[in-house]
Chain A
Amino acid sequence: MKRLPRRFQEHSNFFEYAVNSLFTYKTRTIAIVVSLTIAIMILGSTIFVSDGLLREAQLSVETAPDITVQNMEAGRVVPMPNAYAEYLGRFLDVRRIVPRVWGYVYLQDSIYTLMGIDPSTTPIAEELGLTLESGRFFSGNERNVAVIGSQVGDALNIKLNDQVKITEVHAVYSFTVIGVFDSDVSLFTSDLILIDIETSRDFLDMPPDTVSDLCIYLDDETKIPSTASMISQVYPDLRVITRESMKDAFASTYGLRSGYVSVLWYVLLISVILVAWNQASSASVESQREVGILKALGFSTSNILEIRFLETLLLGFISASIGIFLAIFYDLYLGAPIIRNFMLGWSAIYPNFPVPILISFGSLLTLYAAAIIPLLVGTLIPAWKSAITEPDVVMRGS
């Protein structure tokens, strides 16, 4: 068998020595691997879910209206006259302007989103029908009918073709459930009640011929910024939301900057630094003796540093690999219990649908870096201090 080049053999021996060191200092190795593995597992499983939600949101934005406008009064969104659609249509080069009515209904200790649409003006309304589990989607001239999310049905015990009477102080509203959205789309429909636009105005006590907002679709997407700017100049009381700004909003809401994930990041960073610090200080006395012996045998300072570096690299890599594997298993095969309760559910509804999970190559790289880099930083100075120890100092025990 061909012998390995001498230099390579040397590094290979150092690597083997570093592996054996992990077994020599068992307590230290177990302490670091266990704590770091748990930290990486928690962070990883949260990042995978967070990435999944973000990707789902980003994908959905791709087909969103180019511009959405809302009426603002005293800093709050208020209903806007539908006549704005006509005004905007006159001077803008638009493909279509779709009015939308939406609001909230507080029912049995939960808040539901009620949305009114006009199927005759809604784009790709026929495709919505494909996402139904049962029943059908309503047509433009139907009144007092509703399509609900499957989770709404479960929470309020409503089934297909049931008649639902919702009573408030001044009126009773009645509608028939003619369709139930498939549970596959629960991420968008779990609290959604979709009714026709006329009924929704009555239900939400909105004046006739008013809408919550207008969705504007342009012929030429490159004109989004100039059109948005023009609307703002002509109607300064309108809030103009472009697709690009929604992408940013989604990124900050569901991405790495979102609450749970950013908190976990800080916790992980602090715990890794503490672990690294602990590792460096507890092993320093023993390792100094070891370094003294190695140096007496002919090892140089750079050799010792390389061994310490490989040890840390191995500890970080082992912890990250086990942690990531457990995170994948926890999310994909166990359905991310506990974490899903934090990430799913609106108001008092905790929907029972699978969380979207994205395991990206970028996340894997981030997790490995999160495990290895702080460990390296934490052990750099102690490793250097121990590596420059003179053998005679250690032998004399002074």
Chain B
Amino acid sequence: MKTPKVSRLKIIIFAMTLLFTISLVHAAYSELSWQYGPKYGRTFVGALGYLGLSIPSECLSSRNPLLEPICLPDIPGGYCYHESCGKVGATYLGKNYTIEVVPP
């Protein structure tokens, strides 16, 4: 029995439509879940004031309640102790704390 031949055009169109639809569905789901999902950030910033996200960003606006530049302007010479800029500045931090944890 002869197998019916599916044209390349149909295969390409089907595959592209499928991938495009998957992307659209994900986008719709993502937009809706952002719109109606829990917004924890609101609670925090509403209660505590501005808080940067605890992620590194560009040096001049790193983790800081007000995205204040903490790298270059803090230390003469401009060494930076941000992870992505190397650890040169760590020795200039001054105060060193030690921690001891005592279980109850």
Which residues of A come within 8 Å of B, CB atoms?
Answer: 15-16, 19-20, 22-23, 53, 55-57, 59-65, 68, 70, 75-77, 98, 100, 102, 104-109, 111, 113, 115, 117, 122-125, 127-128, 130-131, 149, 151, 156-159, 161-169, 184-192, 194, 212-213, 215, 241, 246, 249-250, 252-254, 258-259, 314, 317-318, 321-322, 324-325, 328, 332, 343-349, 351, 357-361, 363-364
Interface size on B, residues (CB 8 A): 62
Given A60-B41, A131-B44, A345-B83, verify A68-B49 contact (CB < 8 Å).
yes
Main secondary structure, interface of A, reads mixed
What are 15 of the A-B contact pairs (CB < 8 Å)? A16-B7, A16-B9, A19-B12, A64-B49, A70-B66, A106-B97, A113-B63, A117-B48, A165-B101, A167-B100, A194-B48, A328-B26, A358-B34, A361-B28, A364-B24
A156 touches B101 (CB 8 A): yes
Residue in A109, A190, A324 whose Cβ sees the most chain B Cβ within 10 Å: A324
Contact status B47-A125, CB under 8 Å:
yes
Using a CB-CB cutoff of 8 Å, which residues 71-104 of chain B contact chain A?
Answer: 73-74, 81-83, 90, 93, 95-104
> A59-B42, A346-B54 given as contacts; is B73 within 8 A of A168 (CB)?
no
Chain B residues with CB under 8 Å of A168's CB are 95-98
B26 partner, pick from A16, A61, A347, A359, beta carbons under 8 A: A359
A254 to B61, CA, bound (A): 10
Quick check: B19 and A106 within 8 Å, CB to CB? no
Residues on B with beta carbons closer than 8 Å to the beta carbon of A346: 54-56, 62-63, 83
Given contacts A111-B81, A328-B23, A328-B26, contact A167 B97 (CB under 8 A): yes
CB atoms of A56 and B53 under 8 A apart: yes
Cα distance A44–B38 in the bound complex, in angstroms:
25
Q: A-B pairs with the 7 shortest C-beta distances?
A: A60-B41, A63-B46, A321-B19, A359-B30, A60-B45, A190-B54, A346-B63
- Binary CB contact string for chain B from 1 to 16 against chain A (1 if under 8 A, 0 otherwise): 0000001110010001
Partner of A19, one of B8, B34, B70, B81: B8
B47 contact set on A, CB distance < 8 A: 117, 122-125, 127-128
